[in-house]
Amino acid sequence: MARRSVLLVVVGVALAAAGAGAQAEPVPIGLSAPLTGFGAPDGLSVRQAVELGVRQINAAGGVLGRQIRLVVYDDQAAPPQGVAVAQRLIERDRVVAAVGGSYSGATRGAAPIFQQNRVPFVVGYAVHPEITRAGPYVFRVGFLGPVEGAGAAEVARLYFNAQRVAMLTMDNDFGRALAQGFRDRASKTGLNIVGEVIYPLGEKDMAPHVTRVRAMNPDLIFVSGLFNEAALITRTVRQLGLRAQILGEEGFDSPKYLELAGADAEGVVIVTNLNRDDPRAVVQTFLREYRQAYKMEADMVGASSYDALRIIVDGLRRAGTTESARLRDAIAATRNFNGVTGVLSFTPQRETIKPIQVQVVRNGQFRYFGVITDPEIITPP
């Protein structure tokens, strides 16, 4: 299939110019997201959140006296499409930087392309460690997978005093990275893992896997999965009468999970990037304006990608230019950025440092449950 035929241009227009810089050529910024396929609900959240950010920035006068032109492509959450999208954004659209709004597989494919062409690439929420190892032009706003996994292990110990922990792990980059961090932290703290069951992405029948977990007699289950798998596991755990606490991660953090799991989601706790009850104005303004614009609630993937866009724009302002090396250096110098997903800084390895949020499902919504701030856990290795 020709590369052109698998790419979907969704948005490639400059938003209406207003105020200063109305006649200047817009600044092109790229966005890669899974707009079709199994990750489409997440891709929609990403696209909507980043488009909201562009409208807000352009309405306030843009950046460097110019409007932003957002260029969006569908990477289908697939590595080959991730590569093709990166090449197209760089070679055809000449973007000055890009937001990575996709999963680890597609993002791992795209990151080396941006690095080779020295175009800053700020990844919203993909967790795999190899992504930022592509080189100094690649940054991550969300948690490194092992960091988030370690945070989950700390939640199991600190908030639940778990004595017998089972792991139900999705067999892909996302699940493996989280599981590694969970196991490593459990080993350090003496958290008792009684067993692990691994299942494939896209699994439709969770009963055999949950039955194996039930035989381990856990009091807490750490589950990795995207919203579809997470909801199916949640429902199956309840249907099989397993009373163990379900502890999930950012893959649960979606309105789609709440819709699919329904009442069975009540009491499920997750580690994630977004605290809906954070009183900071940047958080509440984003949540309110997203709700007003799209008639739905924002989620972690949207908030993380929104922060990635704003970090690029903050870098452009501090660099005073779109020249790639100076923009890269400005982004790398980001410290105490007031993001929707936390006040964050980048390490020399371009990983984020910020608190890990703990949310609980209560009355059909994600609410504040706790936070992990221990530097030993939240600081990437």
Q: Looking up tokens 């949207």, which residue turns up?
A: 302
> What is the 8-class DSSP label of residue 63?
B
pTM of the entire structure?
0.91
Confidence of residue 23 (pLDDT cuts 50, 70, 90): low
pLDDT of residue 158: 97
pLDDT exceeds 80 at position 5: no
Mean pLDDT of 341-362: 97
pLDDT digits over 121-150, tens only? 999 999 999 999 999 999 999 999 999 999
pLDDT of residue 173: 86
- Greatest alpha-carbon pair distance for the chain in Å reads 67
CA quadruple 19, 24, 29, 34: dihedral sign = positive
Q: Which helix (H) or strand (E) holds 359?
A: strand 356-362
pLDDT of residue 16: 43
Say if residues 198 and 166 touch (Cβ distance below 8 Å).
Answer: no
The answer for residues whose C-beta is within 8 angstroms of residue 9's C-beta and 6 or more apart is 71, 72, 73
- Closest by Cα among 350, 342, 377 to 100: 350
**Other CB atoms within 10 Å distance of the CB of residue 91:** 10
pLDDT of residue 61: 97
Backbone dihedral angles phi then psi of residue 360, each to the nearest 5 degrees: -125, 145
- Closest by Cα among 377, 343, 379 to 156: 377
| Residue 174 burial by Cβ neighbours in a 10 Å radius (0-12, 13-18, 19+) | buried
SS3 66: strand
**Tokens for 122?**
């700020």
pLDDT of residue 13: 41
pLDDT digits over 289-342, tens only? 999 999 999 999 999 999 999 999 999 999 999 999 999 999 999 999 999 999
pLDDT of residue 2: 38
**Other CB atoms within 10 Å distance of the CB of residue 317:** 11
SS3 115: helix
DSSP-derived secondary structure for 307-373? HHHHHHHHHHHHHTS--HHHHHHHHHT--SEEETTEEEEE-TTS-EE-PEEEEEEETTEEEEEEEE-
pLDDT of residue 149: 97
pLDDT digits over 195-254, tens only? 999 999 989 999 999 999 999 999 999 999 999 999 999 999 999 999 999 999 999 999
Say if residues 300 and 253 touch (Cβ distance below 8 Å).
Answer: yes
pLDDT exceeds 60 at position 20: no
Say if residues 170 and 194 touch (Cβ distance below 8 Å).
Answer: no
| Whole-number Cα distances in Å, 201 to 32, 36, 165, 169 | 21, 16, 22, 10
